[in-house]
Structure 1
Amino acid sequence: MPDARALRNRFVDAPGSIGERLRISRWERFRRLFPAIEDMTVVDLGGTADMWLRAPLRAKHVHLINLEPHPADLPDWISAENADVTDPEVAAALGRHDLVFSNSTIEHVGGHSQRQRFAAAVRLLAPLHWIQTPYRYFPVEPHFVAPGFQFLPLAARARLVRRWPLTHSRPGSPEEGMAAVVGIELLTRTEMRYLFPGDLLLGERVLGVTKSLIAVRTEQGQDAPAASKD
């Protein structure tokens, strides 16, 4: 039997994995929705330079906002800063861009009020956006690759994450276990529609089951009524 790291890579990280195939499909969908991306300035909330450097497309310029450190040697079309975009002063200082992009970040910002501030920043920063998040009711929790993990009581999740073999970085103490799980709150369709009214709400599917949700506002559809499409 392969070790836990190899098994996780097979599902999530490695070339040819389910996760990698989904990422490629997501980029193709993104390009169809934003065909002028090469001429657009993008602010990426929670993203990394590595993701954009591996992407099969390139924006005119990408500005990364993340709490984690960024590499020092970025190409001239990528800039970055460490900041919390849910702080209204931070969002106001960023200026306007053509597009806000965010993958798997809104579920980490810390509670409903913080998600509202995140959504407000999205609307402030650009007229167009792509906001993706894992769907709460997909059977496998994506951060830990654990079936039904998101439905367990918080204390049970904190205990299990210290033993579950497919966790990316296994916590070493009860405090680290709680820290690993308490800040992740997966969203439903209802919550995404509430946070991003008027958007087209897209679904990404695996074996016919919705895995992720994407709130999209495009030039063609930015004033359209809310909709859901898988």
Structure 2
Amino acid sequence: MADNTNKKSLSHRFRQRRFRVFLEMVRSLPKPISILDIGGTLAFWEGMGFSEDGVTITLLNLEVQHPLKPCFISITGDATALDFDDQSFDIVFSNSVIEHLYTFEQQQKMATEVQRVGKTYFIQTPNYWFPIEPHWVFPFFQYLPFNWRVWLTQHFPLGHIPRQNERSEAERQVREIRLMTKAELQSIFPKAQLYRERFLFFTKSFVMKK
């Protein structure tokens, strides 16, 4: 269900549907187009079958990625302090990254930088109120007391999170992921349109786009 590398998985189907919304955005802009993908990988774009001409994609991560295909550039950087001039990119894209910044203050900083360097943007993140936490893939995990979440992380491999033998690593892993609410996202992206990704009767994730 949650293996987004498996093209038959529910997670991959959600990504593809979301990506079609992004493609509409790309195709509405005049080319050439420059995209900054914060936290992105070549494998993600290949998995989505992206093949638009006249598009250059800069992948920003903690480490440089190799090898790359033409029209891709890999750099290191900090999502909360981007080393680019204002309006440097036509689109800033990010898929499930902003929730990995530990605190709301850091999330605010990333949002500010996204809006500074991008003429437009497409920022996706899971919904705090969706009942299944998407990283541990465990019902209501995000609502449990901190020590319970740490204990579970120490004792079981859950979802995309491997079991952590050391309590300090389990604590770091739990602190790293801070899911966001709609109100929080709208407060830090005040000019964005909000796109809801729904599953059954619930909103699974949000996209803030402009």
Do they fold alike, i.e. is TM over 0.5?
yes
Q: Over aligned residues, Cα RMSD in angstroms?
A: 1.8
CA gap of 1:11–1:85, structure 2 versus 1, over 3 A, is: closer
Measured in 2, the distance between the counterparts of 1:130 and 1:206 equals 20
Gap runs ≥5 in structure 2: none
Map 1:1-80 → 2, pairs under 5 A: 10-13=1-4, 14-36=6-28, 39-58=32-51, 60-67=55-62, 69-80=63-74
Q: TM-score, normalised by structure 1?
A: 0.83
**8 Å Cα contact 1:100-1:130 kept in structure 2:** yes
Is 1:85 the equivalent of 2:75? no
**Number of positions where the alignment pairs a residue of Structure 1 with one of Structure 2:** 205
After TM superposition, give the deviation of residue 164 of structure 1 in Å. 3.4
Corresponding residue to 1:99 among 75, 87, 91:
91
Name the TM-score, length of structure 2 as normaliser: 0.90
2:191 counterpart residue number: 198
Q: Percent identity?
A: 32
Unpaired stretches in structure 1, ≥5 consecutive residues: 1-9, 218-230
In the alignment, which residue of structure 1 is the partner of 2:180? 187
Deviation at 1:111, TM superposition (A): 1.1
- Greater than 4 Å deviation, 4+ residue runs: none
Cα deviation for residue 18 of structure 1 reads 0.7
Query: Bigger CA drift: 10-19 or 182-191?
Result: 10-19
- Residues 113-152 of structure 1: CA deviation (Å, up to 9, x unaligned): 2112101111111110000000000000001100000011
| Distance in 1 separating the partners of 2:87 and 2:101 | 21
